[in-house]
Structure 1
Amino acid sequence: MAVSEANSTVDATPNFTHYVSIDFGTSGCGIAMAIKGNTSDIKVFSSWEGMTNVDTKCPTVLLLDPDKKFEQFGIKAMKAMEAKSNLKQKDKADDYLFFRKFKMCLYDNPEAKEIKAMNGTSVPLIDVFVHSLKCIREYALEGLRKNFSNPGRKIQWIITVPAIWTPAAKQFMRKAAVQAGFDERSLVFALEPEAAALFCLQDVIQIKNVPEASYLVVDCGGGTIDIAAHKMIIKNKGIKDKEEIFIEELSPPDGGDYGGFAVNQQFEHMLQDIFSVSNEQFDCIKEKCSRQWFEMVWKTFEESKCNIQPGKEHESISIPIHKSIREEVRRITEKSIEDLVNAYKKNSVEWDSDEDGIVLPYSTIYNLYNPILVQITSLINTVLSKPSCSSITMVLLVGGFAESSLLYDEVRDGILCVHNSADKPIEVKRSTLPIFSVVKGAVIFGQYKEIIRSRVMKKSVGVEACVEFCEDEHDKKYLKESGGEKYCEKAFFPLVKANDSVYTGMPAKYLFRPLTDEQQVCTISLYESLNRDVKYTDEGGCTLMGKIDIDIPKCTSDLSREIQLIIDFVKTEYDVSACSVSNDETKKLVVKHTFHNQQKHLPS
C-alpha cells in the first residue's frame, strides 16, 4: 500500500513541484528526489564523482586547503589526500585539513565551536558543515537536472537528522544549511527513523486486515543507533479515495553512539593494547601518521569488517600496517610491531609478514563487534519492555550498519530470545537496501508531513515563571516580596511533561502580561528535565533549554493586554510563535529563539 494512495485525502504541499532529500550521515551522504505526488518512483542520486558503485553513499569527509578553503568533498577528498601523500608532496599534504565523523560533534560535544582536522589544525565547526552541505546541494541540483526535464525552482528540501538530536543541534544544522545556500522557507528536517518507517510502509510492512499495526524502527548508522516506536493507524481501510494512514509515537526516541564506527574504535583499542602504549603515546602515533591511520582503520578495516559473514568461522581478514606507522611505533616502544603482535596473547591476532600487517580471524572480528551488538540489543529490548510498547509485533532494521549480516543475526536472536512468544510473536526484518531507507523515506515525509500525528516527550519542558507564593507549596528560599505581594521566583511552569503525548493541532500555550507599559521585548527562559514533576528551574536535572525573545508593540492603554506563547512540539523542529491578545484582537508578534545545549544527550 503506497502512502500516496492511502493518504489521497491529505494532499501534498501545493507550493512545491519537486522534493529532494539529503541523508547527511556520519559515515556517508545520500540524495533522493521525486516529483510532487510520486512516492513510487523515487530517484536515488548515484553520480558521485570518483565512485563506481551506485548502491552506496558518498563518504562524509571534507578536505580544505592550507588556507582553510574548500578543496574536495567525499570520495574525491579521500583520493586527493592519497594523491598528495606521495613522497614529492608529503610536506604539502601535511598542511591540508581532512575531516571525518564531524557530524558526531553535535552528539559528543554539543557546545563545541571548533573542530580539529586530522593534522591537528582547528577550524570553526560550522564552516565544515557549510562547505559539506554546499557541495551536496550542488550534487542534488545536478541530479534534478539529469532526472527531470523541467525541475523548476519550487523545490522542497528535506534534510534528515537523528531523532535523539537536541533542538540546539537541529538549530545548528539549519543555520549551516542556510549559509550553504538552502532556502530557509523551503527547508524542513525529517527524523531519520521516521523517514525510514515511511519508506518501509511501502517496502517491508505487509499490512493485514487490521486497522492498526505497531512496530519499532532501528536506524543503524555509522555514528549512532536511532530508535523510534510507532503505531500506524489506518482510517477508512479499504474505502477507495478515503483511506488514510497516520502514525503515532508510542515512546520517546531513544538511541546512543553504537553505530558502525564504534566497531572501528574497538579495533583501535585493540591496536593500543597490542602496542602497549599510553593514551598520550597512542594519540601521538595517530596524529603523526594521520593519513596512513585513516587509510588503515577507516578505509581498509571499514571495508573488510563488512565482509565477515555469520557461520564462516574459518575466514579471516588481513590489515596492512603502513611503514610510517610501524616506524613510529618502534620509535616509541623500541620494539617492532611484529614482535609486539607475536607477544600479544589475546584475540588470536597473527602477524602477516607478506603484507606487513596483522591477520584477524573471525573470532577476533566477532569480539570487536560483540560489545556494540550487546549494547544495541539491550537498548532495543529495553524499549520493547516498556508498557507503552507492548503492542509492537515488528522490529525493522534500517541504515548502512544494518547491512552487516553479523549485526542482523545477533540483534535478531537477542530480541527473539527475550520477547518472542507464542501469544505475542515478534518479527525482525531488514529493509531491502537498508542504506537508502532513510533518504527515500525523507522524500515521502516531505510530501506528507501530516502523517505524523503525535509524539511522546522525552523530557518535561517549561517556562521559568514568577508565581504567587504559596506557604504550603513553595520553599521559602524562593520567596520574593514586591508591592506588598509575595511571589515565588524560579518556578517551573510546565508546558509539557516527560512521557506525555503531544498531538498535531494542540500546541502548548503560556499566557502572561508585560511587566511595564514601556516594555518592548520580553525574554522567556525555557527549561527541560527528565523528571515529570519539576517545581523549580534550579533543581537537580533541570537545565536551560533556550531563550525566547518576543517583540512587544508599545502599549498606550494599560497592562491588561496579554501575550500568548505558543509552542508546537509535534513538528520535527519545535515551532515557536507568539501573539498579543487585547480587546478581543489577536496580533502575531515577532519571535526570536535560541536553543542551548547544556550537556551531552544521555539515552534513557
Structure 2
Amino acid sequence: MSNFNSTIRSKCKKLFVAAIDFGTTYSGYAFSSTSDWSKVLTSNWTGGKVVTLKTPTALLLDANKEIKAFGYEAEDQYIDLARDEEHEDYYFFHRFKMILHSEKAISRKTKLKDATGKEMEAIKVFELSIKFLVGALMKNLKNSYTDIKQSDVEFVITVPAIWDDRSKQFMREAAKEAGIDKSSLTIALEPEAASIHCQYLPAKDHALSLSKYLGELAVGTKYLVADLGGGTADITVHHKVDDGSLEEMREASGGPWGGKSVDDAFEMFIEDIIGKESMKQLRTTSFDDYLELMRNFEMKKRSVKPGKEGNTFLSVPLGLVQIVKNDKSRKSLEKAIENSPYAGKVTFENWKLKWKNENFLRFFEVTIRNIKAHLREILYDSDMTDVETILMVGGFAECEVVQNAVREHFKTKRVVVPEDAGVSVLKGAVFFGHVPDAISRRKARYTYGIQSWPSFNPAKHPENKKVEVNGKYRCKDVFFKYVTKGQVLTLGYEKAQIFQALNPKEKKLECAIYISDSRDPVFVDDPGCRRLGVLTIPLPDLPDGAAIELEESMIFGETELRFQAKDIFSGKSYEVQMDLLGDTVDEDE
C-alpha cells in the first residue's frame, strides 16, 4: 500500500469503522480500527467447499418472521425445507435490493413477495438483513476485542450513487430499525467508495501489461469509474484535485445493467422453452431446483471465456426435467427445445444443456450493449475528451466477458481492473468512514428548490397562478431554486432562506421540497419537476403580535441531503429529517 495512512489520520471518533455492502446478489462486511485504518479486515463466508468474502443476499425467516438464516445458510436451509415440502410456512427472500431502484414510489408500506408469493413489508426485510450482518460483524469483533460495544463502531452502509434521496432514506431507516444509531451511520455511494479504495491499491492493467497505482495519478487527472455490481451499473467521472482529494466531474448515472440482467436473460431463455406456467412452477413449488439451476448458471457465467471456441455445458436439475415432462403440450425438455426459437442453438444431452460458446455469450449481449452505449455517451461528451482511464470495479467487473467487451470497444482508453474488484466498494466504504472528506466536491444530480409564494407580479406571473392569501395577492407554485442540476457542490454547501409564517397561529411550518431534471424550472408543476417531500418545522410559541421567522437551510455536497431550521427569535437551531417515505417526520433538536 502507498504511504496514504502515514500522511492522513482517521477522522473517526469511534474505535472502529465497519462497512456493510448490502448488494443485490451478494453482501458482506469489513472493518478497520482508527489506529491502523488502512488494514481492512473482511468477512469470510462458507458456501459448500468455497470460502468467499461475500455471501448471497438471501434471508430466511420462520413463520413468526424471525431470522432463521442469511446468505449461503439461508439458501441451503430453504432448499432442504423445500425438498421435504416443509417450506410453505417460512419466508425466503433473495435478490430484493433492486426494488429500491425500480420502485418509483417506495414507501414504508411497500411490500416484497417471497419465493412462494407471501408478502411482507420491504423495510422489515431490509431491517432484518442488516440486523443479521451487524450481529455477525459484532461477533467477529468480539472474538478479538472482548470488551467492544456497538457504540464503539461507526457504521457505513453502501448504496448506488444513482439511487434517489427517497431510497437512501429507506436504507437509513431500515438500518435504524436494525439497531444502528443514526448518529453512528454514514451512507457511502458505491462508485465513490471504490474510487477511494483504488486510489491506494495496485491494479492489474492489462492494456499496458503493468501494475500501477491510481494513487500516483497526477493532480488534474480525470478517470471514469464504472461500478458494475449485481444489480446496477453505476458510472461517474472523478478528478484528482490539488489536495489529493477527489472531485466528481459528472453526476452519477447508469441503469439496471449488472450481473443480474444476464441472469434475467437466461431465465427468459428457459421460460421461452418451457413456458410461463412451468417457469412459475419451477420458481415456487420447485424452488430448490430453480436455485440449483441459477447456481449452475452463475458458475458458467463466471468461467466462460470470450472468443474461445468450443461448447458450454450446464447441468439441469431433475425437477425441471420432470416439470416439462408433466406438461402435455411439451412432453419432454428435448421436444420443448426443438419447438422453441432456440432449436439448433442449444441441445439437451446427458442431463445437460449444451451451447456453442458463441451462443452462450448471447446472454450477455443486451447488458454489454447498454453498458458500452452509456460509457460511449459519457466519454464522447465534449467535457470528457481528456478522460483516458476507465476504472472497472464491482463483482460483475471481474467477468472476463465484460472486461474484454469494454477493452475492445474503447481501445484508446486505459482499462484498469483492481485485483479485488469485487470488494473494492466494501473496503473503500471503510476508508470513507475514516476520511469522509476524501470526495471534496460533488455534482448536483437534480435542480433542488422549494415551493414559493411571492407577491404577485402581473408583469411576470401568469394570471392562473394568482391567489389571495391573508388579503394579499401571491403567485402560487413558484420554483425557488437552491442549486442547479450539474452545479459543483463543496462539502457542506449550505443554502438558506428566511420564512415568515403566513398565519401567526400556525403550530408548524410546512415547506415542500421539489426537484427538477431541468436547470431552470419556473413553476413546481413544470414538466420534469416532482415533489421530493415536505419538511415540517415546529413553530415556537411567541407573544401575541410577534413575527414568526425561521431560517431554513438545505445542506448539499454530501452523500445525503441535510436540513436545518433556526428560530430567528430565540436563535435555537433544529436539525430536521425530511420525511420522504410517507409517514411521520423524525426531528432532533
On the 8 A contact 1:518/1:555 being kept in 2, the answer is no
Distance of 1:230 and 1:293 partners within structure 2: 41
State the secondary structure of the residue aligned to 2:221. Answer: strand
Any residues of structure 2 matched to 1:371-386 within 5 Å, and which?
371-386=366-381
Distance of 1:252 and 1:45 partners within structure 2: 31
Specify the alignment match of 2:240 in structure 1. Answer: 232
Q: Over residues 514-545 of structure 1, what are the superposed CA-to-partner deviations in whole Å (9 max), with x where a residue is unaligned?
A: 12333221011111110111111122221110
Letter in 2 for 1:95: D
Any residues of structure 2 matched to 1:100-249 within 5 Å, and which?
100-112=94-106, 113-148=110-145, 151-152=148-149, 153-203=151-201, 204=203, 205-208=213-216, 210-235=218-243, 245-249=244-248
1:333 aligned onto 2:329 = yes
Q: Per the alignment, do residues 207 and 200 of structure 1 end up closer, same or farther by CA in structure 2, a change over 3 Å counting?
A: closer
On the 8 A contact 1:517/1:555 being kept in 2, the answer is no
Specify the alignment match of 1:268 in structure 2. Answer: 267
Q: Over residues 213-267 of structure 1, what are the superposed CA-to-partner deviations in whole Å (9 max), with x where a residue is unaligned?
A: 21111111111111121111133xxxxxxxxx22111011111101101001111
Which 5+ residue runs of structure 1 have no aligned equivalent?
236-244, 421-425, 598-604
In the comparison of the two structures, how many residue pairs are matched? 567
Higher mean C-alpha displacement, 587-596 vs 257-266 = 587-596
Distance of 1:433 and 1:212 partners within structure 2: 26
On the 8 A contact 2:42/2:53 being kept in 1, the answer is no
Which 5+ residue runs of structure 2 have no aligned equivalent?
204-212, 583-589
Q: Over residues 318-361 of structure 1, what are the superposed CA-to-partner deviations in whole Å (9 max), with x where a residue is unaligned?
A: 23143355325642634321112134453744333322x42132
Out of 515, 520, 534, which is 2:507 matched to?
520
On the 8 A contact 1:513/1:559 being kept in 2, the answer is no
Specify the alignment match of 2:210 in structure 1. Answer: none
Specify the alignment match of 1:405 in structure 2. Answer: 400
Distance of 1:79 and 1:192 partners within structure 2: 29
Give the TM-score, by structure 1 length. 0.89
On the 8 A contact 2:198/2:215 being kept in 1, the answer is no
Q: Per the alignment, do residues 343 and 592 of structure 1 end up closer, same or farther by CA in structure 2, a change over 3 Å counting?
A: closer
Specify the alignment match of 1:602 in structure 2. Answer: none
Specify the alignment match of 2:573 in structure 1. Answer: 588
Q: Quote how far apart the aligned CAs of 1:491 are.
A: 0.8
1:294 aligned onto 2:294 = no
1:76 aligned onto 2:73 = yes
Distance of 1:499 and 1:347 partners within structure 2: 50
Specify the alignment match of 1:601 in structure 2. Answer: none
Q: Quote how far apart the aligned CAs of 1:3 are.
A: 3.7
Q: Quote how far apart the aligned CAs of 1:285 are.
A: 4.8
State the secondary structure of the residue aligned to 2:97. Answer: helix
Q: Per the alignment, do residues 37 and 382 of structure 1 end up closer, same or farther by CA in structure 2, a change over 3 Å counting?
A: farther
Specify the alignment match of 1:538 in structure 2. Answer: 525
Q: Per the alignment, do residues 68 and 363 of structure 1 end up closer, same or farther by CA in structure 2, a change over 3 Å counting?
A: same
State the secondary structure of the residue aligned to 1:366. Answer: helix
What's the RMSD between the two structures over aligned residues?
2.2
State the secondary structure of the residue aligned to 1:212. Answer: coil
Distance of 1:185 and 1:328 partners within structure 2: 54
Distance of 2:466 and 2:325 partners within structure 1: 64
Distance of 1:556 and 1:308 partners within structure 2: 75
Letter in 1 for 2:342: K
Letter in 2 for 1:121: K
1:486 aligned onto 2:473 = yes
Q: Quote how far apart the aligned CAs of 1:82 are.
A: 2.0
Q: Per the alignment, do residues 332 and 20 of structure 1 end up closer, same or farther by CA in structure 2, a change over 3 Å counting?
A: farther
Q: Percent identity between the aligned chains?
A: 26
On the 8 A contact 1:516/1:559 being kept in 2, the answer is no
Q: Per the alignment, do residues 216 and 441 of structure 1 end up closer, same or farther by CA in structure 2, a change over 3 Å counting?
A: same
Specify the alignment match of 1:551 in structure 2. Answer: 538
Give the TM-score, by structure 2 length. 0.91
Q: Per the alignment, do residues 222 and 332 of structure 1 end up closer, same or farther by CA in structure 2, a change over 3 Å counting?
A: farther
Distance of 2:144 and 2:382 partners within structure 1: 46
Distance of 1:540 and 1:280 partners within structure 2: 41
On the 8 A contact 1:285/1:328 being kept in 2, the answer is no
1:4 aligned onto 2:12 = no
Q: Quote how far apart the aligned CAs of 1:50 are.
A: 5.2
Q: Quote how far apart the aligned CAs of 1:315 are.
A: 3.5
Any residues of structure 2 matched to 1:244-323 within 5 Å, and which?
245-275=244-274, 277=275, 279=276, 282-297=279-294, 299-323=295-319
State the secondary structure of the residue aligned to 2:230. Answer: coil
Distance of 1:485 and 1:49 partners within structure 2: 70
Distance of 2:489 and 2:545 partners within structure 1: 35
Q: Quote how far apart the aligned CAs of 1:482 are.
A: 4.0
Letter in 2 for 1:311: G
Distance of 1:434 and 1:590 partners within structure 2: 38
